[in-house]
Each structure stands twice: as C-alpha cells, then as structure tokens.
C-alpha cells in the first residue's frame, strides 16, 4: 500500500473527502490554515462545496445549515476561532446536528501566539458553549491519526447526531509523516430527519428551542442519555509499557509523543515507567486509568496548559494514588532533558 508523506493538517482535508464530507466552511487561522488551503484546492475539483466564510461564527452556522440538509460537513480552526464557534456548537448539540470540528490548538489566552498549546481542553472537552452538552473529542498524535480520526469523527457524528471534535495541536498539524489513506469513499446514508428541500422531507423541523420547561428538559434528558451511551461504547486509548509500571504519564497529542521519548529513556535507566494516552478525551478513559492504580504508585499528567486534563485524571484515580501535573504554557514546549529532570524528580519524591 502506498504511503503519502504529508502534513497532519493536509491529511485531515483528504480524509474528510474520503469520509463522505461534501462541504467545508471555514475561516483561516494559523496554525490550522493548511486545512482550509487543502480544502479550497481539493473540494471544487471533486464537486464538493467549499466556502471561506466571513467569520468563525458564520462558518459554524453554515455548518448548521448544511448538517440540517443531511450533509457531512466540516469546519476547522485554531483556539481563538474555536472560542467564536462555541455558540453554534451549542445550537448544533441541542438540535442534534452532526458536524466535524477540527481544532489545531495554539497558545492563549487572547491572541497568544501560533505555537502549540493544549489549553482548549476545557472549552472543547467540557462542552464549551452554554447548556448541558458535551461533544465526543478525538485526540490524534500523528498525521496517520489525523486521517483516521477525521474519518471516525464523521462516523461518530452521524451515529450519535452530535458535533464531534478532532483536537490536535500546532505540532501535530504541522508535522509531516507517512500516511496510508483508505482507498474508498464512505457511503453517506439519507437521514430521515434532515431537510432536503423536497415533499418527503418538508415536515422535518430542526430547532433548539422548546419554551415549555418540561419539553426542554426532555431534550436535555435525551442528550444526557446519548452521552452516557457514548461513555459506555466509545472510549478509546492506547498504552505503552504500562503493565508493570510504577509510574504512569498520562498525555495526549504532542505531549504523548514527548512522553514516549521520556519513557524510552527512563526505561533504559531501569525506571519502571509507562505512558497512558487517552485517544478520546470525552469520553475520558476513566476506568482504564483507575485499573492501573492497583500497581502504579504515581500518575503524572503532562500537558501544554495550566493543568486541565489533570482534573480528569484525578477524577479517574479518585484519590487512590497521587496525581501530579507538569506542563508549559505560552507555546513553550518542554525539552527532553527538562522532562527527564521533572519526571525523575516526581519519581524520586514518591517512589524513591
């Protein structure tokens, strides 16, 4: 099988077409712009719709319209742009509209800079907009997964009628690696609830308003039931040398790549350390992490933020073992030597 040497961001645009996506609406922002560039180039060539919207707010609402029309639709941005999209995501979650949203995280708060951070965790994993909703979140750590997770995101979005995020960072978006693409386009089924502008579908209604409190509560109950099902069925994660680990680093995205190098290095020095990588951030692999609390004496969350995912690790470990956090902010990425020192420090403090 042919592999293509390709940037993570570009892999997303190609994967979207292979997943049956027929519309892209977006607004450019570094470091996600290769996605909008590739879509601008590819979508018109194959007869799919592409539009550079006037704003992030408009682009997510265009997605709302296309999703209501039964289309597989995607938008992509980076942190400040995701903040702007949150209104539309809340409406889509409530109206149960599928959409794939790509977030190539950069440093914040505010304009921040274009270097990698993972500080959108809270706004993406915990809902982000108003109301009691959540979106499934996939966290790729290489271009191959940028492809695979984009395709999976479309499948999950349709299956559960929900917005789904692919949450990556500037480095995973910019890095080039070999990628194997699927060789067929996924079929997109007709959706019985969608509005196709014809006689058969004209009685369909897409809305997120229910003035009657009991009716609106019912909408919420349906959503919560859906999230519970997603928590039961859609947890994804990967592990590296965790079986006998006394200490486990929990990390996703670029941090998990840094952590893997740290694990290799410290293992060669005889330290029993492993890496647990959540692939779905919602649903978070709580049970799978807790399982390791039997043998691991210490967990360390490594993330490029002030410590956001660490809250979920603590909830998962539930006080059974200490959970430490290490991270950098502002686009600064810890060096390997720095991590070895920090992680070894935690090891000495808790294990000896």
Q: Long-range contact list for 257-265, CB < 8 A, 24+ apart? A: 257/141, 257/142, 258/302, 258/333, 258/334, 258/336, 258/339, 259/302, 259/339, 261/336, 262/336, 262/339, 262/340, 262/343, 265/336, 265/340
Contact flag: residue 279 with another protein (CB under 8 A): no
218 binding another protein? (CB under 8 A): no
Considering the rule CB under 8 A, would residue 66 count as an interface residue with another protein? Answer: yes
Chain-centre distance for alpha carbon 166: 3
Q: How many residues bind another protein (CB under 8 A)?
A: 84
- Comparing CB distances to another protein, the nearer of 188 and 235 is 188
Interface characters, 257-276, with another protein (x: CB under 8 A): xxxxxxxx------------
Residues 102 to 141 in contact with another protein, rule: CB under 8 A: 114
Between 55 and 224, CB nearer to another protein: 55
- Print burial letters for 239-257: b (CB count within 10 Å at least 16), e (below 16): ebbbeebbbbbbbbbbbbb
Residue 218 burial (CB count, 10 A)? 12
Measured from the CB atom, the residue of 93 and 317 that comes closer to another protein is: 93
Q: Binding string to another protein for residues 152 to 171, with x set by CB under 8 A, is what?
A: ------------------xx
Q: Which segment (83-91, 152-160, 294-302, 308-316) binds another protein by CB under 8 A? A: 83-91
Cα dihedral 210, 23, 252, 230, rounded to 10, equals: 40
Task: Show the CA angle centred on residue 321, arms to residues 289 and 168, nearest 5°.
Answer: 40
Instruction: Return d(Cα 30, Cα 195) in angstroms, integer.
Output: 34
Residue 88 makes contact with another protein by CB under 8 A: yes
Q: Which stretch binds another protein (CB under 8 A): 50-58, 158-166, 285-293, 312-320?
A: 50-58
Binding of another protein by 341 (CB under 8 A): no
Least Å distance between CB 340 and another protein? Answer: 11
Residues between 178 and 197 with contacts to another protein, criterion CB under 8 A: 178, 181-185, 195-197
315 makes contact with another protein (CB under 8 A): no
Determine if 62 is a binding residue for another protein (CB under 8 A).
Answer: yes
- For residues 96 and 94, what is the distance between their CA atoms, to the nearest angstrom? 5
């Amino acid at each position: 099988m042919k592999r293509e040497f390709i940037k993570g961001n570009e892999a997303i645009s190609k994967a979207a077409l292979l997943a049956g996506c027929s519309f892209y609406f977006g607004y450019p922002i570094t470091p996600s712009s290769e996605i909008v560039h590739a879509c601008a180039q590819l979508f018109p060539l194959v007869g799919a719709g592409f539009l550079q919207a006037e704003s992030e707010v408009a682009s997510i609402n265009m997605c709302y319209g296309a999703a209501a029309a039964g289309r597989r639709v995607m938008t992509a941005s980076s942190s400040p742009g995701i903040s702007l999209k949150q209104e539309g995501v809340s409406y889509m979650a409530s109206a149960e509209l599928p959409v794939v949203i790509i977030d190539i995280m950069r440093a914040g708060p505010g304009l921040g800079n274009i270097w990698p951070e993972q500080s959108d965790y809270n706004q993406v994993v915990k809902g982000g907009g108003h109301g009691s909703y959540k979106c499934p979140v996939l966290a790729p750590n290489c271009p191959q997964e940028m492809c695979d997770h984009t395709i999976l995101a479309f499948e999950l979005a349709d299956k559960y009628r929900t917005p789904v995020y692919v949450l990556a960072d500037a480095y995973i978006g910019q890095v080039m690696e070999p990628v194997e693409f699927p060789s067929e386009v996924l079929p997109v089924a007709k959706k019985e609830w969608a509005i196709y502008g014809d006689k058969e579908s004209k009685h369909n209604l897409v809305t997120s308003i229910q003035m009657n409190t009991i009716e609106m509560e019912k909408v919420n109950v349906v959503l919560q039931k859906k999230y519970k099902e997603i928590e039961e069925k859609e947890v994804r994660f990967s592990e590296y040398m965790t079986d006998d680990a006394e200490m486990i680093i929990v990390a996703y995205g670029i941090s998990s790549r840094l952590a893997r190098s740290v694990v290799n290095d410290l293992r060669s020095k005889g330290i029993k350390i492993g890496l647990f990588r959540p692939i779905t951030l919602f649903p978070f692999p709580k049970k799978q992490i807790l399982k390791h609390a039997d043998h691991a004496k210490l967990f360390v969350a490594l993330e490029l933020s002030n410590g956001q995912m660490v809250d979920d690790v603590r909830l998962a470990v539930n006080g059974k073992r200490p959970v430490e956090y290490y991270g950098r902010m502002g686009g600064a990425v810890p060096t390997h030597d720095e991590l070895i020192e920090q992680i070894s420090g935690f090891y000495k403090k808790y294990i000896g």
